[in-house]
Amino acid sequence: MLLGESSFKRLIKESEIQEKVSALGEQIAHDYSDRPLTVLGVLTGSIVLLSDLIQKINLPLRVGLIQASSYRGAAVTAGDLTINSELLPDISNRDVLLVDDIFDSGRTIATLLETVRRKNPNSVRSAVLLKKNS
């Protein structure tokens, strides 16, 4: 047991998450069959989800990363949103799926979608693991 682990309540079993990720991967493969897909993970929260998900998408695809941050240092409340798209591959004329871990207020994903749309993709959709209820 890790220090402080007993203070957390498990809300979702790992097996349930894996089942949903597998189903999502199958749905994505169906939706994007024969289309050029780029999956973009939002750093840093989506890395594990991104890794698990792309293994379940039975299609050739590109993977890229985009960084979004509104928390600095030890902050626990959001500040100004900063987006770093230096790791973004060329997504023009490709379908893009933006993957993030937690949907909170929607501000981050909306700004990221706007940023990605300026790069001239064919389409942009998003997928998130969890919706945070305040």
Cβ-contact 132, 103 below 8 angstroms: yes
Does 31 qualify as catalytic in the annotation? no
Cβ-contact 42, 68 below 8 angstroms: yes
* Residue 83 exposed, middle or buried by CB count within 10 Å (0-12, 13-18, 19+): middle
Instruction: Indicate which residue of 31, 90, 100, 104 is catalytic.
Output: 104
Indicate which residues carry an active-site annotation: 104
